Structure 1
């Protein structure tokens, strides 16, 4: 099942709307900071190529990237669990998913990602990390445990646009010989991490 024209039209309109909102905000934390469309498109392709079924997103925001993950998950008979700390943003994401009739494929949690990761006993085929970057080093020990060892893929956004913010995290990933990683110059920069 390929991406439909209707889906592309609706997510494009949503992206424009979220970008317009962000342009009016001076405080970074009030912005939605959605993933770039080309990155979102690539995420969908990776899920399809990998045939990922158990998908985790850390950092829902208003749900733009979530829609792309879920749209791809439909074709793999997969399901997306997405975590957002801000209740208002969770509700927005839920509303957008309902609008596109994708809410049946989402488990949307409003909680602290670190607590979720500490308590998580499941393994995921595909993980998107796009949250507050200063927490990534804390997340890493738990991400290693929940990323499926055979064919699991962790994707981290903003590794080129905010290279200094993720420098310590990148170092932790690269020095761990259990994992291999590559940085793609797509959007704000995507780091792809997989177990050997």
Structure 2
């Protein structure tokens, strides 16, 4: 949930009304997510989804990796920008919800380009030797630092990585956070800012999006 969603819903509606239209398949997916899941706020949503699409269309990536599929909204947004022969691999460990992304991936025009795997992302990255043009990470926050370390060797100059929820409802402002997830998110943000191989910016969109570009 964004700051505006919680504190100024009128502004949030204005932002959505001033953005490009949400494709009908994403509108249906968003509706089903809110009807059938217990934590629908985990979906990327309208504004962030349009940002993911724009970034993907600018890059025209041949190889996209997503860690944390949830119901498939972000994956479908990024798939809009795939190169003609491009592919998107999306990973999750929640088999109970897998029927939702499978359904919408099949209905989309990108079914042949999306590889949806129920697999631990750390194990996948340890076994993979692929290089990625675009990476979106929105999964277990306790492993964010580990994901960053594992994904770095699989990036080339110009590759873009995005970590979601890096403001963590403002908890990153705590001096000595007790929550492990908060500690790891703060560690990640500090690590990225000090890494000379990247340039980055945290966008205060929804719960914070750390956008990195490999130099």
TM-score, structure 2 as length reference:
0.78
1:143 aligns with 2:143: no
1:117-136 correspondence to structure 2 within 5 Å: 117-136=125-144
Question: Which residue pairs with 1:72 in the alignment?
Answer: 81
Within the alignment, does 1:177 sit opposite 2:196 as a pair? yes
Aligned length: 184
User: Does residue 1:106 correspond to 2:114, yes or no?
Assistant: yes
Q: Give the Å deviation of 1:88.
A: 2.7
Flag structure 1 segments of 5+ consecutive residues without an equivalent: none
Contact 2:44 2:74 in 1 (8 A): yes
Aligned partner of 2:46 in structure 1 is 37
**Deviations for 1:36-74, whole angstroms, at most 9, x for unmatched residues?**
21111111111111121110000001111111122222x
Higher mean C-alpha displacement, 162-171 vs 108-117:
162-171
State TM-score, norm by structure 1.
Answer: 0.85
Instruction: Tell me how far apart the structure 2 counterparts of residues 157 and 79 of structure 1 sit (CA, whole Å).
Output: 21
Relative to 1, partners in 2 of residues 1:168 and 1:161: Cα closer, same or farther, differing over 3 Å? same
Please provide the CA RMSD for this pair. 2.1
Say which one has the larger Rg: 2
Q: Where in structure 2 are there 5+ consecutive unaligned residues?
A: 1-19, 173-181
Distance in 2 (alpha carbons) for counterparts of 1:91 and 1:119? 26
Task: Report runs of 4+ in structure 1 exceeding 4 Å deviation.
Answer: none
